[in-house]
Structure 1
Amino acid sequence: MTSVRRIVVSVSDLERSSAVYSGALGLEPLWANEDVARLRAGDAELMLHRRTPTPAEFGVAATFAVDDVDSVTTAAVSAGAELVHGPDDEPWGERQSVLRDPDGHLFCVVTPIQEHGTAGTAGTA
């Protein structure tokens, strides 16, 4: 494998979900039609696909690196996301918020905590 190319999220309403992912998180719109919206997420892409969503509390959660977790969290909640946890400084060296998009999918926004070491990243359980 060379990289993650795309994450696909099933959504019931493209406009409502785009307000969270593009409007609040700042992902760049690349292309859209009535069923699909492609958004740039760094070197990868987030595809919002209009179809029946089946969110799960303990499934896969996309994590987005942002410059300011607190302001992005506020913007995401204003755009229709639900705050699940945070923003908090986590022991693995990131400030993180966990949110739920309008269809119930979990996602995280993170930024590194300054001057944090790499303790716990190798050789620990």
Structure 2
Amino acid sequence: MTSSEVHRGISALTLSTRDMARAVAFYQTLGFRLDYGGPEASFSTLWAGPTALNLTTETGHAPPGFWGRAIFEVADVDAFHAAITEAGIETDFTPRDAPWMERYFHLKDPDGHELSFMTPIGAKA
């Protein structure tokens, strides 16, 4: 499986915030379009052209120093998960469906950075 067969690009960047209302207002002022969540939500998605910026208040279960995560779109998240776990890479959980219409899982790179891999629900090849 080559990179071009698996990876479709960076889907989104998720940033941690202590104040969702302040963060949503800030990014809307910058011209980002709110698509999911909002000032009272614990998770929000805003768009700048074709790129998503997620905001999260994951303070309860996030690791110390949590900054956010990079999210990569793959052609088939279940097949990708199977291939990397077979290769010995540990993931935080098996792929699951999210209410924001993605199937995804997380893992940490060797330096502890959180990475997420996703496929939009209904978009498997």
TM-score by length of structure 1 reads 0.43
TM-score by length of 2: 0.43
